[in-house]
């Protein structure tokens, strides 16, 4: 049995389905476009062949990570709740573009292209996000001024707290 129920532990699944071999899977919505990530935790007595089949199944829709079960709540909070958090960030950036005088469609196009390009740059160059931030921030420039506003609004802290709250909620669901 492959469970995608948030927070429901392997022990609880095995107690509910005695004699079954169980797997916890935590996929995210980008799986819909084969760009997802799925965390897997294995129950007891799965054969190598069964593990291979599960990896193959989820590998068709993105990356697969095998994790110790306690890490699945963190993965769920970041990778599964994260797309909604990023959607809010992208929407807010596009709203900022509109406030700066851009037409809505162009602002959204730019926010999406910038987000995708930033992810590609970080991945392809192997940069830490802080390195990229520093590359773009010139003294007394537009970017450092914008970053200062984010710090005033405690955006970093709000995002950290959002991930922690989602992880706690996942644990509570179990």
Alpha-carbon distance 34 to 105, whole Å? 25
Question: What confidence score (pLDDT) does residue 7 get?
Answer: 84
Question: What confidence score (pLDDT) does residue 127 get?
Answer: 97
Sign of CA dihedral 92, 94, 100, 101: negative
Residue with tokens 């007891």: 44
Alpha-carbon distance 118 to 112, whole Å? 10
Q: Say yes or no: domain 2-68 is CATH 3.40.50.720.
A: yes
Yes or no: say if 27 and 44 are a contact pair by the CB < 8 Å rule: no
Percent of the chain with pLDDT over 90: 94
User: Superfamily assignment of 80-173 in CATH?
Assistant: ProC C-terminal domain-like (1.10.3730.10)
Question: What confidence score (pLDDT) does residue 130 get?
Answer: 97
Alpha-carbon distance 120 to 106, whole Å? 21
Alpha-carbon distance 71 to 12, whole Å? 17
Q: Which residues of the chain have a pLDDT value below 70? A: none
What is the maximal distance between C-alpha atoms in the chain? Answer: 65
Residue ranges per structural domain of the chain: 2-68, 80-173
pTM, full prediction: 0.89
């Amino acid at each position: 049995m492959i469970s995608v129920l948030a927070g429901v532990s392997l022990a609880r699944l095995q107690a509910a389905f005695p004699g079954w071999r169980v797997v916890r899977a935590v996929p995210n919505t980008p799986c819909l476009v084969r760009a997802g990530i799925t965390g897997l935790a294995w129950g007891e007595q799965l054969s190598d062949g069964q593990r291979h089949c599960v990896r193959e199944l989820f590998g068709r829709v993105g990356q697969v990570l095998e994790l110790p079960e306690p890490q699945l709540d963190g993965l769920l909070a970041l990778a599964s709740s994260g797309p909604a958090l990023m959607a809010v960030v992208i929407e807010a950036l596009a709203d900022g573009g509109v406030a700066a005088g851009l037409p809505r469609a162009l602002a959204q196009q730019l926010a999406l292209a910038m987000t995708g390009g930033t992810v590609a740059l970080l991945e392809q160059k192997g940069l830490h996000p802080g390195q990229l931030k520093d590359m773009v921030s010139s003294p007394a420039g537009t970017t450092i001024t914008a970053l200062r506003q984010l710090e005033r609004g405690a955006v970093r802290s709000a995002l950290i707290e959002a991930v922690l709250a989602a992880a706690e909620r996942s644990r509570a669901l179990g």
